[in-house]
Amino acid sequence: MTCVDLFAGCGGLSLGLKQAGFKVELAVEKSPMAAETYYHNFIRPVDDPEEWHAFHEDLSVEEQADAGLVVRELEAVLGSERIISRLREADIDLVAGGPPCQGFSLAGRRDPHDKRNQLPWQFLSFVASTNPKAVIIENVSGFRNDFRKHGARSPFEELRIALAETGHGYAVQPMLLNAVHFGIPQHRPRVFLVGLRSDLATKANISVTAETWDSSLDSPDVSLIGQRPALAPQRSHFEDELAHRHLTVADAIADLVENGCDTKGSPSQYAMEMKSDSRFLVGIERRVDRPNDLSNHVRRQHSDLVERRFRLYQYFRDAGMRPGVLALPLREDKSTYWVRQSLLDAISNVQYPVRSGDGTVVARNQRALMRLIGRLATKKHSQRALAWEKPAPTIVSLPDDYVHPSSPRVPTVRELARFQSFPDAFEFRSKETTGAHRRKFEVPQYTQVGNAVPPRLGCALGSQLIDILNSSIKVARRNQKATAVA
């Protein structure tokens, strides 16, 4: 089975599709920073920066396509008749990707200058030109509701209709899949449109629904399997199933060395799989898998004040307190008396001394804690300390949203990659992070990880499609034989 990955990023979806059994014929990614990671892991190890620079700066779009990776806008690929013809003749099985779609509208077809519509329409144009057997489109879960006003269709519904009408037509199943349901230690709900070409859907007797399938509705009860749409992957992990429980932060990163010692015991089965899995990655023979030499496992340095804030977040987590307590001293709309009383109420049940996740004393008494909260006050509500015993929340592109469960620091790139199900052999390239004003055009390592489709989720989607495509091929062959006999 063959596929093309558009808006490929660092390659999370490509890796998952490879694990499912697909051969990636072409990937397209406009960011040189994310594309370098893709190239390094799937095409050729980047030992010489000049070699990579020559590839993405000097080669034509056709020459890059011959190597398997185009570092350009999708528009450049659509403009190459040679590339499109080659893919059309190759009879591609799957086109997948996550085009930005937040402002998508069917009306945009009439307005080519509407930038919100250009990329999804280019994606659909690519599908129409190459006529793949199946299509996967991924986006953030809020995309289902964006711009829904006065009964108007959401961009997600508009895109579903547009895909169904693309080319010779597709049977399209909308779905909401949470990564934690598929053996990934992270709550990460994302919406997908999975389409099967109409002729194949008819032959394989595949039906779809306009209603979005939610993976949380899936059940280990085999008697309920028929309720899941045919194109939706089967959920593998459940909150209350001991043998296949949701994976946690501890499962993902507890084995990683911290301060020279093992903090949480022997590696979990998941961690061992992340350590040992090097399938489909190039240059593995030169990569060292000893824990102390993990790639992308650089602990960030923080000021003493920031470390104290992080330790306080860890205490808030253990005490069941909201991190928003640190915003109370900054309430300009309230009196000093109100702020003080609110703080006293918030910490009324605190047991002293206050200790952080690693046992460090944060405050010895109430006065010290009140003073510390005043010094560490912040309006940032998204920061929180991760909990060992729970799945991670959705990994995002900013490194400072989450705090390590027991150390006063943000997680490393490698730790976030573990939450995303990237194996340790997968190396992220370019710089780790960037400044706020550069985030619009730079894609550093933390952003690459946060934007990626978890490989294991890509594998689940790909495996389901391979089963269906193989089934449709068998049906077609049986029909051909029956026709020949008749």
Which residues are the active-site residues?
A: 101
Phi, psi dihedrals of residue 453, rounded to the nearest 5°:
-80, 125
Convert the chain into a string of H (helix), E (strand) and C (coil).
CEEEEECCCCCHHHHHHHHHCCEEEEEECCCHHHHHHHHHHHHCCCCCHHHHHHHHHHCCHHHHHHHCEECCCHHHHHCCHHHHHHHHHCCCCEEEECCCCCCCCHHHHHCCCCHHHHHHHHHHHHHHHHCCCEEEEEEEHHHHCCCCCCCCCCHHHHHHHHHHCCCCCEEEEEEEEEHHHHCCCECCEEEEEEEEEHHHHHHCCCCCCCCCEEHHHCCCCHHHHHHCCCCCCCCCCECCCCCCECCCHHHHHCCCCECCECCCCCCCHHHHHHHHCCCCCCCHHHCCCCHHHCCCCCCCCCCHHHHHHHHHHHHHHHHCCCHHHHHHHHCCCCCHHHHHHHHHHHCCCCCCCEECCCCCEEECCHHHHHHHHHHCCCCCCCCEECCCCCCECCCCCCCCCEECCCCCCCCCHHHHHHHCCCCCCCCCCCCCCCCHHHCCCCCCHHHHHHHCCCHHHHHHHHHHHHHHHHHHHHHHHHHHHHHHHC
Report d(CA 61, CA 302) in Å as an integer. Answer: 43
